C-alpha cells in the first residue's frame, strides 16, 4: 500500500468515546465531524493518502489535525475562538406589517 503511514496518534479512551458520539450526532458541524473522522482514522492506523481521499482533505490537513490533537487534546476538533466583534443581528420586528 502506498502512502506514508502517519505517526500513530494515541487517543485517550474518553476522547474516542466523544469523537464517536460526535459522528453519531446529527447536529455536529461538518468541519468538526471531518476532524473527528481524521483522528479516528489515524488512531486505527489508516494511511494518510487513502484517508485524505475518504474525508476529501489534503494530506497536509491530516497531519495538521493530528499535531493539533497532540497539542490541545480533544479541543482540536472544535473551532478556535476568533478575534473581533461578534456578529449582531437586528431584534425581531413585532407588529410590523
The rounded distance, in Å, linking the Cα atoms of 51 and 37 is: 9
Beta carbons within 8 Å of 74's beta carbon, 6+ residues apart: 12, 15, 18, 19
pLDDT at 64: 93
Looking at per-residue pLDDT, the higher value among 34 and 93 belongs to 34
| Per-residue CA distances from 91 to 2, 18, 84, 94, 97 (Å) | 56, 36, 21, 9, 16
Is the pTM for the entire model greater than 0.95?
Answer: no
Looking at per-residue pLDDT, the higher value among 59 and 81 belongs to 59
71 pLDDT above the threshold of 90: yes
The shares of helix, strand and coil residues in the chain, as percent rounded to the nearest 5, are 55, 0, 45
User: What are the residue ranges spanned by the domains of the chain?
Assistant: 21-77
pLDDT in tens, 10-64: 899 999 999 999 999 989 899 999 999 999 999 999 999 999 999 999 999 999 9
Looking at per-residue pLDDT, the higher value among 91 and 72 belongs to 72
The rounded distance, in Å, linking the Cα atoms of 17 and 62 is: 20
Amino acid at each position: 500500500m502506498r502512502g506514508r503511514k502517519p505517526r500513530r496518534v494515541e487517543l485517550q479512551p474518553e476522547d474516542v468515546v466523544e469523537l464517536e458520539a460526535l459522528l453519531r450526532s446529527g447536529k455536529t458541524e461538518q468541519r468538526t465531524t471531518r476532524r473527528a473522522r481524521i483522528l479516528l482514522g489515524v488512531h486505527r492506523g489508516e494511511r494518510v493518502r487513502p484517508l485524505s481521499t475518504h474525508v476529501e482533505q489534503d494530506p497536509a490537513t491530516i497531519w495538521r489535525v493530528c499535531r493539533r490533537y497532540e497539542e490541545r487534546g480533544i479541543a482540536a476538533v472544535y473551532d478556535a475562538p476568533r478575534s473581533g466583534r461578534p456578529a449582531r443581528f437586528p431584534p425581531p420586528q413585532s407588529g410590523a406589517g
